[in-house]
């Protein structure tokens, strides 16, 4: 059985939308110090601009599969691009941080539909044995965003204004709507199911309380019923959702998917790795600008190297996974990835730049291989009729953990600054933060060792010797 005709074209169109989203995120990380100065707030407080977007993703991604099944993937995909583009325009026009946060929330609603719906189209169009290659086609153009994002963001901030970071999404969004209308198939479920409204409300309240509570805690906000109260409320409402989901056949986040071992271990191990992955785009540009004294443009070039390594890996993902299998790749490649992230803690201004470049390039290569394996093996044992709910579930946790990574990094940075009595983060504080987030991802490798030796063999083509 071969892939459906034109699946590469569809993959590239979906990847273009992901390019817009990834470009926005990586440019924004580079511009945070400049935006903080414009809004007259501390650079540490700018983490809310990242977590507010992640929050919106976490709240609305669970509904993406059900909405696509009901209204058709093409309609939902086009609407998502429109919302993201309008949100970008409002971000660029924001006069203060609260308005920026609201605009980022609107952007997040669009982003919440773009990525999982696009992935769902591919899952339903490509046979499992070609899914590794299809995912590579999907992710290569999307990785161009992180590659060009940091240097482009640095140039925009240095020579124009940070507001143009958001305005450049407008022409991309217009072209994306036209391409989606022309080429993206109108994939939808054969049978409609009742939308889980109560589950959507409960999951949304729980996730929003947890994300904002953790974000407030990471900035040292300790007002009564502040961060602690929000986190507690998130846990309580989350427990109510679990009770509801176990009694509902069409739960918006289908917890029964965790019965599939490959899906469960990919969610757990991938979540730990993504906490670290989410922290790096936040920590590295700040470290280069505040710790090394680099300009936004220079720090963007340094950050660019890591994303370049990620893009270079995509051509080798399929043969590597075919040769060694998912379990070996996830265990040993995971260990290598953790080591390279930990090396960032040792970066100092007197290091030759070429050494820093080599570490970031190589680390980006191995981290990208790790996430390609996670994203693919998750669907190894999931029946095709449950791809919609599996995509929503997996992407929700993916975005939630990336958001949590920013919170963990900001909390570690804030704690180190406070303990050392610094007025702003110093190099030692960034080292502490990098080591903290590295310890989190170090737990992922032993978890992946629990995978069966032949996990995902029908996808990878790996055969035991």
Picking from 135, 452, 94, the residue whose alpha carbon sits closest to that of residue 263 is: 452
pLDDT band at 383 (very low <50, low <70, confident <90, very high): confident
Cα 391 from Cα 61, distance rounded (Å): 9
Cα 96 from Cα 48, distance rounded (Å): 13
Cα torsion 456, 460, 461, 465 to 10°: value is -70
Please give the model's pTM, rounded to 2 decimal places: 0.72
Number of C-beta neighbours around residue 158 at 10 A: 14
Give the torsion sign (CA, 128, 133, 135, 138): negative
Mean of pLDDT values over 346-353: 88
Listed range (124-128, 344-348, 377-381) with the worst mean pLDDT? 124-128
Query: What fold characterizes domain 7-195+252-460?
Result: Growth Hormone; Chain: A; (1.20.1250)
CA distance to 35, 67, 198, 199, 271, per residue, from 195 (Å): 40, 8, 9, 9, 27
Mean of pLDDT values over 11-21: 73
CA distance to 189, 309, 373, per residue, from 381 (Å): 20, 30, 14
Residue 6 has pLDDT above 60, yes or no: no
Helix (H) or strand (E) holding 121: helix 97-123
- Residue extents of the structural domains in the chain: 7-195+252-460, 196-251
Cα 395 from Cα 380, distance rounded (Å): 16
Quote the pLDDT of residue 240: 92
Q: Could you say which DSSP state residue 275 is in?
A: H
Mean pLDDT of the chain: 79
pLDDT tens for each residue of 229-288: 888 888 899 899 889 888 887 788 888 888 888 889 999 988 888 888 878 877 887 888
Helix (H) or strand (E) holding 104: helix 97-123
CA-based radius of gyration for the chain:
21
- Token readout for 413 is 């940075």
Mean of pLDDT values over 372-396: 81
pLDDT tens for each residue of 363-373: 888 888 888 88
């Amino acid at each position: 059985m071969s892939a459906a005709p034109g699946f590469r074209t569809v993959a590239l169109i979906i990847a273009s939308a992901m390019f817009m989203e990834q470009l926005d995120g990586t440019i924004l990380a580079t511009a945070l110090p400049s935006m903080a100065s414009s809004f007259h707030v501390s650079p540490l407080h700018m983490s809310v601009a990242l977590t507010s977007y992640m929050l919106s993703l976490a709240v609305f991604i669970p509904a993406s599969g059900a909405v696509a099944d009901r209204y058709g993937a093409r309609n939902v995909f086009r609407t998502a691009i429109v919302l993201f583009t309008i949100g970008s325009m409002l971000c660029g026009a924001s006069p203060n941080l609260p308005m920026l946060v609201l605009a980022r929330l609107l952007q997040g609603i669009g982003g919440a539909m773009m990525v999982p719906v696009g992935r769902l189209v591919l899952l339903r169009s490509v046979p499992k044995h070609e899914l590794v290659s299809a995912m590579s086609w999907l992710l290569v153009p999307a990785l161009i965003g992180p590659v060009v994002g940091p240097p482009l963001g640095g140039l925009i901030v240095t020579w124009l204004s940070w507001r143009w970071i958001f305005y450049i999404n407008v022409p991309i969004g217009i072209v994306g709507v036209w391409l989606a209308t022309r080429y993206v198939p109108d994939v939808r479920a054969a049978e409609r199911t009742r939308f889980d409204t109560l589950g959507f409300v409960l999951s949304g309240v729980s996730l929003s309380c947890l994300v904002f509570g953790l974000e407030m805690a990471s900035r040292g906000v300790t007002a009564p019923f502040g961060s602690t109260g929000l986190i507690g409320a998130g846990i309580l409402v989350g427990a109510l959702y679990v009770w509801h989901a176990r009694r509902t056949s069409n739960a918006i986040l289908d917890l029964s998917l965790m019965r599939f071992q490959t899906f469960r271990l990919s969610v757990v191990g991938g979540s730990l790795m993504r906490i670290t992955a989410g922290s790096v785009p936040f920590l590295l540009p700040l470290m280069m600008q505040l710790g090394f004294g680099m300009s936004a443009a220079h720090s963007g070039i340094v950050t660019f190297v890591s994303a370049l390594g990620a893009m270079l890996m995509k051509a080798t993902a399929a043969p590597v996974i075919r040769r060694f299998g998912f379990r070996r790749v996830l265990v040993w490649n995971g260990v290598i990835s953790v080591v390279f992230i930990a090396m960032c803690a040792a970066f100092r201004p007197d290091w030759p730049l070429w050494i820093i470049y080599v570490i970031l390039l190589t680390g980006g290569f191995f981290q990208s291989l790790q996430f390609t394996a996670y994203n693919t093996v998750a669907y190894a044992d999931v029946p095709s009729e449950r791809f919609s709910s599996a995509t929503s579930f997996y992407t929700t946790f993916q975005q939630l953990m990336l958001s949590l990574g920013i919170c963990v990094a900001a909390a570690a940075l804030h704690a180190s600054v406070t303990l050392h009595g610094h007025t702003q983060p110093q190099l030692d504080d960034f080292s502490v933060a990098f080591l903290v987030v590295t310890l989190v991802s170090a737990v992922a490798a032993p978890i992946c060792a629990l995978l069966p030796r032949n996990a995902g063999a029908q996808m990878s083509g790996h055969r035991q010797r």
